[in-house]
Amino acid sequence: MEHTDAILVVGGGIGGLVTALSLHQDGHDVVVHEAVPELRALGVGINLLPHAVRELDALGLLADLEAESVAPTALAYFTKRGQPIWEEQRGRAAGYRWPQLSVHRGTLHRILSAACVEQLGHDRIRLGHRLTGVRSDGDRAIATFETDRGAAQVSSPLVIGADGIHSAARAQRYPHEGMPEWNGALLWRGLAETEPVLDGRTMVWAGHPDQKFVGYPVLDLDGGRQLFNFIAEFRTDSVVLAEREDWNQPGRLDDFIDRFESWRFDWLDVPALIRSAPGTFRFPMVDRDPVDRWTFGRTTLLGDAAHPMYPIGSNGASQAILDARVLTGCLRSHPGDIDRALERYEEIRRPATAQIVLANRGLGPEAPMQLVEERAPDGFDDIGDVITRDEILAVTDGYRRTAGFALEALSDGTSIADRVDD
Ligand SMILES: Cc1cc2nc3c(=O)[nH]c(=O)nc-3n(C[C@H](O)[C@H](O)[C@H](O)COP(=O)(O)OP(=O)(O)OC[C@H]3O[C@@H](n4cnc5c(N)ncnc54)[C@H](O)[C@@H]3O)c2cc1C
């Protein structure tokens, strides 16, 4: 068995890499253990909310990210016929000191992994190490990995399970939890090259929670075109289509395009855009019930391993980044007392993220789209006859507070890592 004084981060995804960078910046020795043998630029689009961007800025990554992403200035809701429901400003346009950023997940992952290699060193990222078990042992934790040279055991003062939605670290603690829970919706995600949609800086949500199209640009291309991320989603009772969630599962156009055939708006031809993409990935809308505990002795959970949630409201990556920064801040404010630091980390992050899991089950910020569909399924002449501005604001302002990016919460500029004191 290898004995180390380094903190072990299990999982080199978005949460794991940000955790490693953040702890390293605070002077900790960190080693990342990642299951895959090679880090590749996987996924499609992802959104980073201003509070998460603030934390990436504190890690010195903002300029690199801004150079390879798009900062949306607005979010607009439309009906399934493309009629406008609502538009709100986003990021700096909404008065935030930090932008919201829409980025290819692979680009974000590449920027994070390059920073890790540069700052921690190549030998601090161990690929081909799949966690199979972790147990506490007094003031240490012992992690077991499967590698191509057989099993390897590492004993460390702290093991952080950032191993995603199928977390082995979590399964160890919750062996009867089973598969994530599916709510009946399936998502087909893809990237298409296109002329700018609307002003090229607007995130669009069209339809209603039973059938929805979400789109946003993630990169400005030469010649004024953009790489545009889309998600086509609908609820189905076909269990044939639902299988183990896998971010790399290819989607088949024939499984979903019919449902969007009539979604040809004067501002976007949805089926034409989807058809122009080289392919799609299919993913079921899944989450898990919030759990009562993340920390067991010297092991804890972070990111999707801790709080898998529906991909609604741009929270998946953003909340993992906040976890990483709060954990760093807690270790900083409790030097030499890892147990108290972990306790504090959970006190701050577990209730906060559980609220988002539950808010997303209740439609989250999409609730106004559902109300408009119920009240005016055949369209309207004036949106003001269907839903009031106050009704929409009650939902969107409430969700911003739940997700932690209300404007006032970011106004003093302090990193969340500096705001963890009891
Ligand atoms: C390949 C892939 C593509 C994705 N694409 C998108 C996307 O397009 N849009 C989107 O919104 N979200 C996507 N996600 C999910 C998104 O990255 C997360 O929801 C969010 O960023 C939270 O990050 P995380 O670090 O908790 O989890 P993840 O980013 O999922 O990272 C988990 C990491 O742990 C590793 N791992 C898993 N099991 C083990 C194990 N037993 N031992 C060691 N390592 C392990 C995984 O290989 C992965 O690198 C994707 C995730 C993956 C893995």
Is any atom of ligand 1 closer than 6 Å to the C-beta of 308? Answer: no
Is residue 52 in contact with ligand 1, taking CB distance under 6 Å?
Answer: no
The predicted structure's pLDDT at residue 408: 82
Answer whether 368 contacts ligand 1 (Cβ < 6 A). Answer: no
pLDDT at 143: 98
d(CA 46, CA 43) in angstroms, rounded, equals 8
Span 2-48+56-70+105-179+288-363 CATH architecture: 3-Layer(bba) Sandwich (3.50)
Hey, what long-range contacts does 214-218 have (CB within 8 A, 24 or more apart)?
215/268, 215/273, 216/45, 216/47, 216/70, 216/72, 216/102, 217/70, 217/72, 217/102, 218/44, 218/45, 218/69, 218/70, 218/102, 218/103, 218/104, 218/107, 218/191
Going from the Cα of 309 to the center of ligand 1, the distance in angstroms, rounded, reads: 13
384 exposure class (CB count in 10 Å sphere: 0-12, 13-18, 19+): exposed
pLDDT of residue 92: 92
pLDDT for position 176: 92
42 touches ligand 1 (CB under 6 Å): yes
Output the CA 13–ligand 1 centroid distance in Å. 5
CA of 14 to the centre of ligand 1 (A): 7
Task: Return per-residue pLDDT of the chain as tens, 422 residues.
Answer: 999 999 999 999 999 999 999 999 999 999 999 999 998 888 899 999 999 999 999 999 999 999 999 999 999 999 999 999 999 999 999 999 999 999 999 999 999 999 999 999 999 999 999 999 999 999 999 999 999 999 999 999 999 999 999 999 999 999 999 888 888 888 999 999 999 999 999 999 999 989 999 999 999 999 999 999 999 999 887 665 555 566 778 889 998 999 999 999 999 999 999 999 999 998 888 889 999 999 999 999 999 999 999 887 778 899 999 999 999 999 999 999 999 999 999 999 999 999 999 988 877 788 899 999 999 999 999 999 999 999 999 988 888 888 888 888 888 889 999 999 86
313 CB less than 6 Å from ligand 1?
A: no
The three-class DSSP label of residue 209 is coil
Phi-psi label, residue 110: left if phi above 0, alpha if psi -120 to 50, beta otherwise: alpha
pLDDT score recorded for residue 322: 97
Whether 320 and 303 have beta carbons less than 8 Å apart is answered as yes
Atom 41 of ligand 1, nearest CA residue: 131
For ligand 1, is residue 12 a contact (CB within 6 Å)? yes
The residues spanned by each domain of the chain are 2-48+56-70+105-179+288-363
Residue with CA at minimum distance from ligand 1 atom 30: 164
Distance (Å) from CA 310 to ligand 1 centroid? 14
